[in-house]
Amino acid sequence: MENSASTLISPIAQSIDILVQAISNNAKVLACGNGGSAADAQHFIAELVGRFERDRIPFAGISLNTDTSILTAVGNDYGFDVIFERQVQALGQPGDVLVAMSTSGNSSNVIKAIQAAHERNMAVIALTGKNGGTIAGMLTDFDVHLCVPHDRTMRIQEVHGLLLHVLCDGIDAFLLGDIS
Protein backbone atom coordinates (compact mmCIF):
# COMPACT_ATOMS: atom_id res chain seq x y z
CA MET A 1 0.00 0.00 0.00
CA GLU A 2 2.72 2.47 0.96
CA ASN A 3 4.71 1.67 -2.20
CA SER A 4 1.57 2.17 -4.25
CA ALA A 5 0.90 5.58 -2.74
CA SER A 6 4.31 6.96 -3.64
CA THR A 7 4.61 5.50 -7.14
CA LEU A 8 1.04 6.12 -8.26
CA ILE A 9 0.48 9.77 -7.30
CA SER A 10 1.60 11.14 -10.66
CA PRO A 11 -0.29 8.62 -12.86
CA ILE A 12 -3.40 9.13 -10.71
CA ALA A 13 -3.30 12.87 -11.43
CA GLN A 14 -2.77 12.19 -15.15
CA SER A 15 -5.67 9.73 -15.18
CA ILE A 16 -8.00 12.28 -13.59
CA ASP A 17 -6.93 14.88 -16.18
CA ILE A 18 -7.66 12.49 -19.05
CA LEU A 19 -11.05 11.51 -17.64
CA VAL A 20 -12.11 15.10 -16.87
CA GLN A 21 -11.12 16.18 -20.37
CA ALA A 22 -13.09 13.34 -21.95
CA ILE A 23 -16.14 14.03 -19.79
CA SER A 24 -15.94 17.76 -20.53
CA ASN A 25 -15.86 16.99 -24.27
CA ASN A 26 -18.89 14.69 -24.02
CA ALA A 27 -16.71 11.74 -24.89
CA LYS A 28 -17.22 8.40 -23.20
CA VAL A 29 -15.35 5.95 -21.02
CA LEU A 30 -15.17 2.25 -21.89
CA ALA A 31 -13.90 -0.20 -19.26
CA CYS A 32 -12.96 -3.88 -19.36
CA GLY A 33 -11.29 -6.67 -17.41
CA ASN A 34 -11.65 -10.35 -16.53
CA GLY A 35 -12.94 -11.96 -13.33
CA GLY A 36 -12.51 -9.61 -10.38
CA SER A 37 -11.44 -6.90 -12.81
CA ALA A 38 -14.73 -7.32 -14.69
CA ALA A 39 -16.51 -6.54 -11.44
CA ASP A 40 -14.22 -3.52 -10.98
CA ALA A 41 -14.94 -2.29 -14.51
CA GLN A 42 -18.71 -2.35 -14.05
CA HIS A 43 -18.42 -0.86 -10.56
CA PHE A 44 -16.42 2.09 -11.95
CA ILE A 45 -18.81 2.67 -14.86
CA ALA A 46 -21.81 2.54 -12.51
CA GLU A 47 -20.26 5.38 -10.54
CA LEU A 48 -19.80 7.46 -13.70
CA VAL A 49 -23.28 6.87 -15.11
CA GLY A 50 -25.02 6.95 -11.73
CA ARG A 51 -23.11 8.95 -9.21
CA PHE A 52 -20.23 8.72 -6.78
CA GLU A 53 -20.87 10.66 -3.56
CA ARG A 54 -22.67 13.74 -4.79
CA ASP A 55 -25.52 14.47 -7.16
CA ARG A 56 -24.35 15.58 -10.58
CA ILE A 57 -25.09 15.04 -14.24
CA PRO A 58 -24.53 11.50 -15.55
CA PHE A 59 -21.27 10.79 -17.38
CA ALA A 60 -21.12 8.52 -20.43
CA GLY A 61 -19.55 5.14 -19.80
CA ILE A 62 -19.96 1.53 -20.86
CA SER A 63 -18.63 -1.60 -19.22
CA LEU A 64 -17.55 -4.06 -21.92
CA ASN A 65 -18.01 -7.12 -19.71
CA THR A 66 -21.72 -6.84 -18.84
CA ASP A 67 -23.67 -7.69 -21.99
CA THR A 68 -23.92 -11.48 -21.99
CA SER A 69 -25.41 -11.59 -25.48
CA ILE A 70 -22.47 -9.67 -26.94
CA LEU A 71 -19.94 -11.66 -24.91
CA THR A 72 -21.39 -15.04 -25.91
CA ALA A 73 -21.97 -14.13 -29.56
CA VAL A 74 -18.55 -12.57 -30.12
CA GLY A 75 -16.82 -15.20 -27.97
CA ASN A 76 -18.60 -18.04 -29.75
CA ASP A 77 -18.27 -16.69 -33.29
CA TYR A 78 -14.85 -15.00 -33.19
CA GLY A 79 -13.09 -16.09 -29.99
CA PHE A 80 -12.75 -15.06 -26.36
CA ASP A 81 -9.66 -13.02 -27.09
CA VAL A 82 -11.65 -10.49 -29.15
CA ILE A 83 -14.67 -9.98 -26.82
CA PHE A 84 -13.46 -6.51 -25.80
CA GLU A 85 -11.66 -5.58 -29.03
CA ARG A 86 -14.84 -6.01 -31.06
CA GLN A 87 -16.77 -3.70 -28.71
CA VAL A 88 -14.04 -1.04 -28.81
CA GLN A 89 -14.20 -1.21 -32.61
CA ALA A 90 -17.99 -0.87 -32.50
CA LEU A 91 -18.27 1.86 -29.87
CA GLY A 92 -14.96 3.69 -29.55
CA GLN A 93 -14.46 7.15 -31.02
CA PRO A 94 -11.41 9.42 -31.02
CA GLY A 95 -11.29 11.21 -27.67
CA ASP A 96 -12.97 8.39 -25.78
CA VAL A 97 -11.01 6.67 -23.01
CA LEU A 98 -10.45 2.96 -22.42
CA VAL A 99 -9.92 1.90 -18.80
CA ALA A 100 -8.23 -1.50 -19.23
CA MET A 101 -7.63 -3.73 -16.22
CA SER A 102 -5.42 -6.80 -15.94
CA THR A 103 -3.53 -7.71 -12.78
CA SER A 104 -0.99 -9.73 -14.80
CA GLY A 105 -0.91 -7.34 -17.73
CA ASN A 106 -1.07 -10.41 -19.95
CA SER A 107 -4.74 -11.16 -20.69
CA SER A 108 -5.02 -11.32 -24.47
CA ASN A 109 -8.56 -9.91 -24.64
CA VAL A 110 -7.46 -6.82 -22.67
CA ILE A 111 -4.31 -6.48 -24.80
CA LYS A 112 -6.40 -6.56 -27.99
CA ALA A 113 -8.80 -3.98 -26.57
CA ILE A 114 -5.85 -1.64 -25.98
CA GLN A 115 -4.64 -2.16 -29.55
CA ALA A 116 -8.14 -1.35 -30.86
CA ALA A 117 -8.29 1.78 -28.68
CA HIS A 118 -4.97 2.98 -30.10
CA GLU A 119 -6.25 2.40 -33.63
CA ARG A 120 -9.21 4.66 -32.81
CA ASN A 121 -7.10 7.43 -31.23
CA MET A 122 -8.43 6.75 -27.75
CA ALA A 123 -6.32 7.28 -24.65
CA VAL A 124 -5.83 4.24 -22.43
CA ILE A 125 -5.69 4.14 -18.65
CA ALA A 126 -4.22 0.73 -17.83
CA LEU A 127 -4.53 -0.73 -14.34
CA THR A 128 -2.09 -3.61 -13.93
CA GLY A 129 0.16 -5.20 -11.31
CA LYS A 130 3.33 -7.28 -11.01
CA ASN A 131 5.64 -5.91 -13.71
CA GLY A 132 2.81 -4.71 -15.94
CA GLY A 133 3.27 -7.71 -18.26
CA THR A 134 2.81 -7.23 -22.00
CA ILE A 135 0.60 -4.19 -21.45
CA ALA A 136 3.50 -2.25 -19.92
CA GLY A 137 5.31 -2.34 -23.26
CA MET A 138 2.31 -1.30 -25.36
CA LEU A 139 1.40 2.01 -23.79
CA THR A 140 2.11 5.31 -25.51
CA ASP A 141 2.83 8.81 -24.19
CA PHE A 142 -0.91 9.55 -24.41
CA ASP A 143 -1.72 6.68 -22.05
CA VAL A 144 -1.36 6.25 -18.31
CA HIS A 145 -0.11 3.16 -16.49
CA LEU A 146 -1.32 2.52 -12.95
CA CYS A 147 0.84 -0.50 -12.08
CA VAL A 148 0.41 -1.75 -8.52
CA PRO A 149 3.82 -2.88 -7.25
CA HIS A 150 2.72 -6.24 -5.80
CA ASP A 151 2.82 -9.87 -6.98
CA ARG A 152 -0.47 -11.21 -5.63
CA THR A 153 -3.60 -10.83 -7.74
CA MET A 154 -5.90 -10.26 -4.77
CA ARG A 155 -3.78 -7.45 -3.35
CA ILE A 156 -3.48 -5.83 -6.79
CA GLN A 157 -7.25 -5.99 -7.19
CA GLU A 158 -7.77 -4.46 -3.76
CA VAL A 159 -5.58 -1.51 -4.72
CA HIS A 160 -7.32 -1.25 -8.12
CA GLY A 161 -10.63 -0.87 -6.29
CA LEU A 162 -9.14 1.91 -4.19
CA LEU A 163 -7.64 3.59 -7.27
CA LEU A 164 -10.97 3.59 -9.10
CA HIS A 165 -12.61 5.33 -6.15
CA VAL A 166 -9.77 7.85 -6.05
CA LEU A 167 -10.39 8.56 -9.76
CA CYS A 168 -14.13 9.05 -9.13
CA ASP A 169 -13.35 11.35 -6.21
CA GLY A 170 -10.86 13.32 -8.32
CA ILE A 171 -13.31 13.73 -11.20
CA ASP A 172 -16.00 15.03 -8.84
CA ALA A 173 -13.57 17.34 -7.04
CA PHE A 174 -12.47 18.80 -10.37
CA LEU A 175 -15.96 19.28 -11.73
CA LEU A 176 -17.90 20.08 -8.54
CA GLY A 177 -15.22 21.43 -6.20
CA ASP A 178 -13.59 19.89 -3.14
CA ILE A 179 -15.74 18.65 -0.29
CA SER A 180 -15.14 21.13 2.54
Ligand X SMILES: O=C(CO)[C@@H](O)[C@H](O)[C@H](O)[C@H](O)COP(=O)(O)O
Return binding residues for substrate: 34-36, 47, 76-77, 102-104, 107, 157
Phi, psi of 161 (to 5 degrees): -60, -45
Residue type at 140 in one-letter notation: T
CB-wise, 115 or 121, nearer to ligand X? Answer: 115
Query: Using an 8 Å Cβ cutoff, are 49 and 115 in contact?
Result: no
Residue type at 17 in one-letter notation: D
Kindly report the number of other CB atoms within 10 A of residue 150's CB atom. Answer: 18
Candidate list 103, 126, 138, 167; residue touching ligand X; CB under 6 A = 103
Query: Using an 8 Å Cβ cutoff, are 159 and 150 in contact?
Result: yes
User: Counting contacts by CB under 6 A, is residue 161 touching ligand X?
Assistant: no
Phi, psi of 78 (to 5 degrees): -120, -25
CB-wise, 11 or 133, nearer to ligand X? Answer: 133
Binding site, annotated residues for Zn(2+)? 43, 47, 157, 165
Candidate segments 6-14, 35-43, 105-113, 139-147, binder of Zn ion by CB under 5 A: 35-43
CB-wise, 85 or 172, nearer to ligand X? Answer: 85
Pairing between β-strand 144-148 and β-strand 29-32 as defined by DSSP bridges: unpaired
User: Counting contacts by CB under 6 A, is residue 63 touching ligand X?
Assistant: no
Candidate list 34, 42, 63, 65; residue touching ligand X; CB under 6 A = 34
Strand partners, 100: 32, 126
Closest contact distance (angstroms) between CB of 23 and ligand X is 26
The residue of the chain with the least Cβ separation from ligand X equals 35
Edge-to-edge strands, sheet with 29-32: 61-63, 29-32, 97-101, 123-129, 144-148
Candidate list 102, 114, 139, 146; residue touching ligand X; CB under 6 A = 102
User: Counting contacts by CB under 5 A, is residue 36 touching Zn ion?
Assistant: yes
CB-wise, 68 or 180, nearer to ligand X? Answer: 68
3-state SS, residue 172:
helix
Site for Zn ion, rule CB under 5 A: 36
Site for ligand X, rule CB under 6 A: 34-37, 102-104, 107, 110, 153-154, 157
